[in-house]
Structure 1
Amino acid sequence: MSKVFVVEDDASLREELARLLDLQGFTCETTVEYDAAVDDIIAAAPDCVILDLKLPGVSGHAICRGLRTRSDVPVIMLTSSDSEFDELMSMNLGADDYVTKPYNPAILLARIQSVLRRTARSESASSITHRGVTLDLAKSEVKFGERTVELTRNEFKILRLLMENCDTIISRQELMNELWQSDAFIDDNTLTVNINRLRKSLEKAGVTDYLITRRGQGYLV
């Protein structure tokens, strides 16, 4: 049974979420001590966190930032803000998804299941190897020969998706969905920047001509 930790200051919404999760077979924990939310989440060891962006005394961004220094637990931001900046900021801080209020309960549950599946997929194996390149899933490191290079969160996500689907073209839209769960508000250049950073990290590991571009189609390894 998966555990979901909800950080939401609206009592009625918090209770509604708890009931919804309970009906779907999840264990749900909450907190109203927002300044101590990171410690409470770490202590609870949940499988997923639903985190409101605007909280009294502390922002959801600050909690997400603090959480990411100590855990890779999936985080879904839940907020009434439709600001593109807030969404980009959340994803850059390491959030896995971003859902705006009012939300469709079925959609929120689908998002939770999606991040849980991705987490389970990552934990099912310790590494992926293709064409002599090894991706360490636990350490977010790429290894080639005697060299090891640590990847950023986005570099890791891109390379993992490509290696899990080796010899298959992955479209830019698929990559954007993997990184941000949406391509609606993401500048197309943002993905290009991340791809270029990944190429440079691969070059540091001594890997060249590994990430292949298919013009108008996408990328593959």
Structure 2
Amino acid sequence: MRWLFEAELHVLGSTILWREVVGNGFGLASAVLGMRRRVWAWPVGMAGNLLLLTVFLGAVFATPQQVDLYGQAGRQVFFFAVSAYGFWRWHRGEVDGGAAVLPRWASARERLALGAVAAAGVALAYVVLRALGSWGPLADAWILVGSLLATYGMARGLIEFWLVWVAVDLVGVPLLVAAGFYPSALLYGVYGAFCLVGLRAWVRVRRDLDAAATAAAPLPAGAP
């Protein structure tokens, strides 16, 4: 695997690691499969997580940036764990023409719980990342926590997870550009736009399911 760790791409005077490009390619492929609600979204994403873990620990794995984004690196580890949970949930059975999950809107209670976890998680992650010396700890904290919530929401089939991803990307793009991780910043920008497409697709599926359920419901007594 040494060739993969050392392979570089030089663009406009900047050095880019091929493993960052490949890792983000896996991430985008996982997003496309997630939009289609295919169970392979999870293992594909996990492969990308392993590669990107080595990218964001710049000082450890000798990347050109020599910048440690501990939140970005840590989220790859958590991603791997949450993705294993998502794979387990989606692998239990196919539904709706081969798709692995039926999209649904979160309940008011679920939204409140996710909001509370987001606030507490960002506060805790900020303290930890700042102590570790992470670059841009507050933005890094939100990216870490928001990404985990989005991944968990995807595993549960919650439509709102697409919106959480958009919020993560809005913070992630400027942070990664400033830190010099250009392929990842580019992917975040593309992914942010793609999330809007995914949101539309899942909303449409939910609307069709609701319409089918309404059409199949028995008419009330006395109805014409």
Structure of greater relative contact order (alpha carbons < 8 Å, 6+ residues apart): 2
Structure holding more strand per residue: 1
TM-score by length of 1: 0.34
TM-score by length of 2: 0.33
Structure holding more helix per residue: 2
